[in-house]
Amino acid sequence: MTIWRNLPTMVSTVKFGTRRQLFEGSWYKAMGRSAHREAGIYFDRALASLEHLPKSRHVLEEAIDLRIELRNALFPLEELDRLLENVRAAESLAGRPR
């Protein structure tokens, strides 16, 4: 009989636990997205700064690497058009046909 007496408390605990898990999951997801967004901003700044340097093989390699790394920040944000644009630009800089 004790289980029936404690049932409302158990149900309340399960509901609270589920809500808390949903909140924590959403919070971590939002924080992750925020970090990816910030990383994207820094990659964009790095790419912009490379445009002001004299053209050299090293600068070209850095531009390609940065554009490829940028996709890791863009994919979780679901910015697929921008991701594709940067990958194609990297391919173009590398001299590879699409």
Per-residue pLDDT reduced to its tens digit, 61-93: 999 999 999 998 899 888 999 999 999 999 999
| pLDDT over 50 (residue 5) | yes
**pLDDT band, residue 14 (cuts 50/70/90):** very low
Measuring CA to CA, how many Å separate 26 from each of 20, 34, 42, 94, 97? 10, 12, 24, 39, 41
The pTM (predicted TM-score) of the whole model is: 0.66
**18 vs 42 pLDDT, higher one:** 42
**CB-CB neighbours of 70 under 10 Å:** 25
Whole-number pLDDT of residue 90: 95
